[in-house]
């Protein structure tokens, strides 16, 4: 019996954006969008303060060890395989450290034909050219009964959610507004139904976990 869950876990502004406008390869160095880094750090600063995150990315010692840190570590530990879209991979290929921060197999949805790319730290990227269900099937074969994380970006998450392939997800709501940017739920099927399972507040962020109701 399959016991693994397919989930995603993202940080989001109060107005529904997971990345500010300009945070992409086409605009990252455009002076018109120079404020994107300030907005991104306002969204993510609580993450960079966590001990587990700092250790995983080799950012130095120290860091917070409370509820937020525990949730980040649990999410990492439950992830047996990740799936991501080509835009997330393209950006990460340029900016991730040599030891990519996944330490699992990662399946990349892309039209690019490419051999697997193995990185230090047990991360290997596999490139899937025939759609989201094929990527999930391959991920399940590797994960066994482990959980599968849809890492992003927004379009990738939307595809899996609209296809009814997500079991649960957690959103970390940060009290900032972007106004424009990458919307997590821009193209959602309104017939999808979710219910709240757990809400955990902390000093700077509220973590809410939802279950997707299956038909």
Q: Check residue 28 and give its pLDDT.
A: 59
Does the structure show a pLDDT above 70 at 185?
yes
> Residue 176: which residues within 8 A CB-CB, separation 6 or more?
13, 14, 39, 42, 43
| Residues belonging to the chain | 215
Does the structure show a pLDDT above 70 at 130?
yes
97 domain residue, yes or no: yes
111 domain residue, yes or no: yes
CATH of the domain at 82: 3.40.430.10
- Summarised one tens digit per residue, pLDDT across range 82-125 is 999 999 998 888 778 888 889 999 999 999 999 999 999 899 99
194 domain residue, yes or no: yes
Most confident of 25-34, 41-50, 94-103: 41-50
Residue burial 90-107, b: 16+ Cβ < 10 Å; e: rest: ebbeeeeeeebebbbbbb
To the question of pTM greater than 0.75 for the whole model, the response is yes
User: H helices within the chain, ranges in order?
Assistant: 36-48, 51-56, 67-78, 86-95, 132-143, 154-162
DSSP code at position 189: -
Domain count, the chain: 1
11 domain residue, yes or no: yes
127 domain residue, yes or no: yes
Mean pLDDT, residues 139-154: 95
- Summarised one tens digit per residue, pLDDT across range 169-183 is 999 999 999 999 999
68 domain residue, yes or no: yes
Q: State the residue range of the domain holding 144.
A: 6-212
1 domain residue, yes or no: no
């Amino acid at each position: 019996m399959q016991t693994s869950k397919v989930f995603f876990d993202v940080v989001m502004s109060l107005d529904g954006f997971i990345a500010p406008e300009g945070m992409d390869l086409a605009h990252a160095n455009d002076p018109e969008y120079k404020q994107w880094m300030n907005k991104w750090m306002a969204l993510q600063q609580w993450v960079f303060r966590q001990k587990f995150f700092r250790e995983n990315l080799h950012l130095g010692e120290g860091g917070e060890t409370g509820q937020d840190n525990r949730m980040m570590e649990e999410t990492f530990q439950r992830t047996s395989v990740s799936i991501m879209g080509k835009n997330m991979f393209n950006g990460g290929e340029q900016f991730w450290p040599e030891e990519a921060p996944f330490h699992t197999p990662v399946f990349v949805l892309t039209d690019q034909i490419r051999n697997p790319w193995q990185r230090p730290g047990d991360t290997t990227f596999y490139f899937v050219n025939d759609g989201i269900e094929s990527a999930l099937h391959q991920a399940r074969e590797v994960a066994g009964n482990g959980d599968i994380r849809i890492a992003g970006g927004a379009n990738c998450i939307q595809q899996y959610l609209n296809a009814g392939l997500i079991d649960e997800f957690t959103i970390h709501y940060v009290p900032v507004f972007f106004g424009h940017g990458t919307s997590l739920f821009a193209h959602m099927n309104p017939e999808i139904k979710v219910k709240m399972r757990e809400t955990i507040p902390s000093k700077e962020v509220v973590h809410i976990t939802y279950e997707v109701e299956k038909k």
